[in-house]
Structure 1
Amino acid sequence: MHNTVLLSEIFGWMSLINIGLLSLATLALIWMGERITSVHSKFFNVQAHQLKIMYMNYLAQYKLLVFVFNLVPYIVLKIVY
């Protein structure tokens, strides 16, 4: 029983940290999108319109990974125990 409580706390903190990082990355792209795009397009030699698609793919994949590997196990542990 003690292990499941500890595991639940670990998944809870992992979820909180990863959702915070996801929110920070989203806000950075909203507020400083043009500046970030110009730097990345020069650095990686990618066109700006392609970068915006790449940013959205990154955010979508990161959100999916956070939900599947952090949030869902946390919710399951809270429901079961």
Structure 2
Amino acid sequence: MNIATITALLGWCSTINIGLLFISAAMIMLARQPLMRLHSRASGVDSAQLPGYYFSFLAYYKLAILLFNLVPYIALRIIA
């Protein structure tokens, strides 16, 4: 693999993961009650605690995208 291939791979990974982040956030905003009922029944977590877990999930997912996709992509674009 050369640098151009890895850069393209990280670019597509970033695009796909950012799309999934937006879809997840939109689903949580638009279908909050059905999702909370589903997740509460599936996981046994109280419905009052789920908004905090949703926020944590989105925050950690965004950090993971930044650290593992965007930063290496930008670094490769700089050196290429």
TM-score by length of 1: 0.93
1:30-49 mapped onto 2 (5 Å cutoff):
30-49=29-48
Q: What is the identity, as a one-letter code, of the residue corresponding to 2:55?
A: M
Q: Report runs of 4+ in structure 1 exceeding 3 Å deviation.
A: none
Distance 2:79 2:66 in 1: 18
Shift of 1:72: 0.5
CA–CA distance in 1 between the matches of 2:76 and 2:52? 35
For structure 1, the 5+ residue unaligned runs are none
Provide the TM-score with structure 2 as the length reference.
Answer: 0.94
2:9 alignment partner AA: I
CA displacement at 1:13 relative to structure 2: 0.3
Q: Deviations over 1:24-53 (max 9, x none)?
A: 100000000111001111222211121111
* Alpha-carbon distance between aligned partners in 1 of 2:10 and 2:77, rounded to the nearest angstrom: 10
Q: Which runs of 5+ in 2 are unaligned?
A: none
Question: What percentage of residue pairs aligned between the two structures are identical?
Answer: 38
Aligned to 1:16: 15
Aligned residues: 80
- 14-23 or 33-42: which moved more? 33-42
1:71 is aligned with what amino acid? L
